[in-house]
Structure 1
Amino acid sequence: MEIKKQAEMNDKVVKILLLGASDSGKSTIAKQMRILHTDGFTHEERQHYKYMVQSNYIDSFVHIAKGIYKLQIDIPPSERELISTFEQSYYGQYFNMTESNDLIGIIVQFLNCKCVKAACSRLMEFYVPDNTTYLLSQVSRIIHPEYSPSLDDIIRARASTKGIYEIIFSFRQFTIRLIDVGGQKTERRKWIHCFEGVTAILFIVSLACYNNVLEEDANINQMTDTKDLFKQIYRNKFLRPSSLIMFLNKMDIFAEKLKYAPLENFYPEFKKELSEEMTDEELFDVAIDFVKSLFSKIKGNDRRPLYMHTTNATDTRNVDFVFNATCDIILTKNMKSNGMA
């Protein structure tokens, strides 16, 4: 009886592996699950996110400084030293050299530079982290001495996932174990430790990465890396029994980017899908279908189902709706395989 009871309990545990390349939005999805299905974040965690959000400004400033040089924006003599310091830095280096009490002053000083204001009006013309526009819109609140991060701030805070993190929560009559692992190339060798007993793979793709390169290797396009990674996951024999769901994420950024960085510049074959009278909405729909086809080609004629959804991981309601639809697929298949349906 004990063995049977344990087996029934195991049948109600659903293990979902959250995979994707670095900067795909995996960890944002994981944070949304904590907001939607757990008690959220402790006071100590919020303090950690306060530090992270404020330090994210430094990350954005490094990229804005690089953008100023890339766009050849005129830099007044009084601003050259500060801009040059950021341009030659990388995330964390400048911040570690700076007392945290001075961070607010640095943020204000940088944003008051004329060349920075010029660059901020042209953010789509060079790479900046996805949360840059949000951070710039929230400066007065975030630099306030009594600042405490909101849920929106926490969702948009950026930090590379190192190691393996697990979120456990109840969903209907099941227990969900959501495993989030680092997406950088150096972190992927750890994934094998999570492959046992996986009910479903939730693979996250950044739609907006088609014109970006990897931070760790500027010779590799991010979308190319994502496709190669998906191919490895799809063909992995240990994951063959697992349901496969793909979130085509960052659809809001993708829609905006299409206006400034035409998809056909990176995928010439996309040009034949275009017409002169096409509206922005039609362009977006056709571009989504094209990206879907890039991954469907990897699948080929294989009958294994691949479920695709477009998402905006920073939109809690969108994530809730899509995740519920995803769980319907996963749980239905899980119950059938366990003879429960």
Structure 2
Amino acid sequence: MKNEIKVLLLGTGESGKTTVVKQMQILYKDGFNKKTQILFRDAIRNNLKKFIELLLEAVDRLELKLKKSNKIIAETFTQLNSSSEQENILSKKMVHCIVTLWSDPALKTAYKNRFTFQIPDNANVYLDNTLEISKHGYIPNNQDILGCRIPTTGINEISFHVKNFIWTIIDVGGQRNERRKWIHQFEEVLLLIFIVAINEYNQRLFEDETVNRLQESLKLFTKMVNNEYFRHKNCILLFNKMDLFEEKISKYDLNGCFPDYKSGLDCDDALLFITKKFKKPSKNSKRKIYLHKSCATNTQNIKSIFYSVKEIVTQEFINQLSFL
């Protein structure tokens, strides 16, 4: 279509690509219908049980101790979780287990050390609201849905009109086993948006816990910006989860990820260092890489970033049409 602008979202798993797509749904497609809200409600309820399961495993691995009275609660939770209890419905007994276990100091300590195992950074938001989520009439709002993590498999697209153009955003799974599908989406894409979860500099891949997440993201970005399809196209580099990065960098040094980093727990220095790392690999010196800092769950932040993206891409698109 002559007035269609195709944008490809790339990044590793958990980087926030799908959250950006959800924001497009909110900003340009009138949000989520009731059917979709129910799907996310079910996912959130299942996630609550998964979060407690992961935290109990971490408690054992970190050799932490549950309160004596909560050991029986943990056993009950495990039995309920492995039984044929209907999915998507939280029984009163299950809710009691989740609320009680989440209040245990051992699980709180495990959560503080969450970078050592695989659990979403916002799991606490849902666990803190277990009673509300378990209510019969609970329907997740936009913020609940934005924070809900469901791994992307396959290829998802969203199209919407902005002024005289149709924008098509293509989101593909970021985990390693999904990346072989990317090559089929490269043709006719005008812009690459590569999303980096910048806070993950001390975390490991879900699919390979020997690999640092930020190192994997840098390696993948290097490969993509020098791919034959994108070598001459501009790129938007989105440093996502900045709020979590700013919180983490005050406690955990970046040199655990990049040994050549020597500036300690300084947010500005760390950000500048990472920026240089990501801008260096491009072999095309004429290509522009536009950097934006984001928090993908913040609708106003993404709206502002997308406004800037629209201005850049629309002008480039018009220039291409004029050339043709």
TM-score, normalising length from structure 2? 0.90
User: Shift in Å at residue 83 of structure 1?
Assistant: 4.3
Tell me if the contact between 2:186 and 2:229 (Cα under 8 Å) persists in the aligned partners: yes
User: Shift in Å at residue 172 of structure 1?
Assistant: 2.3
> 1:232-243 counterparts in 2 under 5 A?
232-243=223-234
User: Shift in Å at residue 205 of structure 1?
Assistant: 0.4
Tell me if the contact between 1:57 and 1:107 (Cα under 8 Å) persists in the aligned partners: no
After superposition, the C-alpha distances for 1:36-70 in whole angstroms (9 at most, x for unaligned) are 00122121111101101111212322332233234
The yes-or-no answer on 1:327 pairing with 2:307 is no
Q: 1 or 2, which has the higher helix percentage?
A: 1
User: Shift in Å at residue 145 of structure 1?
Assistant: 1.8
Task: Return closer, same or farther for 1:158/1:86 CA change in 2, 3 Å cut-off.
Answer: farther
The yes-or-no answer on 1:202 pairing with 2:185 is no
After superposition, the C-alpha distances for 1:108-149 in whole angstroms (9 at most, x for unaligned) are 313313873443256332233122122133223212221111
CA distance in 2, matches of 1:145, 1:305: 51
**Which deviates more from structure 2 when the two are superposed, residues 171-180 or residues 298-307?**
298-307
The yes-or-no answer on 1:110 pairing with 2:93 is no
Aligned with residue 17 of structure 1, among 8, 19, 39: 8
2:26 aligned residue: 35
> 1:36-185 counterparts in 2 under 5 A?
36-80=27-71, 83=74, 94=81, 97-100=84-87, 101-102=89-90, 105-113=93-101, 116-120=104-108, 123-127=111-115, 128-185=119-176
| Structure 1: 5+ residue stretches without partners | 1-9
Tell me if the contact between 1:64 and 1:116 (Cα under 8 Å) persists in the aligned partners: no
User: Shift in Å at residue 94 of structure 1?
Assistant: 4.5
| Structure 2: 5+ residue stretches without partners | none
Task: Return closer, same or farther for 1:240/1:82 CA change in 2, 3 Å cut-off.
Answer: farther
Task: Return closer, same or farther for 1:255/1:194 CA change in 2, 3 Å cut-off.
Answer: same
The yes-or-no answer on 1:263 pairing with 2:254 is yes
User: Shift in Å at residue 82 of structure 1?
Assistant: 5.7
Task: Return closer, same or farther for 1:301/1:170 CA change in 2, 3 Å cut-off.
Answer: closer
SS of the residue corresponding to residue 280 of structure 2 reads: helix
Tell me if the contact between 2:66 and 2:106 (Cα under 8 Å) persists in the aligned partners: no
Percent same amino acid among aligned pairs? Answer: 30
* Equivalent residues, number: 320
Task: Return closer, same or farther for 1:297/1:95 CA change in 2, 3 Å cut-off.
Answer: farther
SS of the residue corresponding to residue 120 of structure 1 reads: helix
Letter paired with 2:308? A
Tell me if the contact between 2:241 and 2:294 (Cα under 8 Å) persists in the aligned partners: yes
CA RMSD of aligned residues (A): 2.6
Tell me if the contact between 2:6 and 2:188 (Cα under 8 Å) persists in the aligned partners: yes
Tell me if the contact between 2:49 and 2:98 (Cα under 8 Å) persists in the aligned partners: no
Tell me if the contact between 2:101 and 2:107 (Cα under 8 Å) persists in the aligned partners: no
TM-score, normalising length from structure 1? 0.86
Letter paired with 2:85? T
CA distance in 2, matches of 1:40, 1:182: 22
Letter paired with 1:328? E
**Which deviates more from structure 2 when the two are superposed, residues 197-206 or residues 223-232?**
223-232
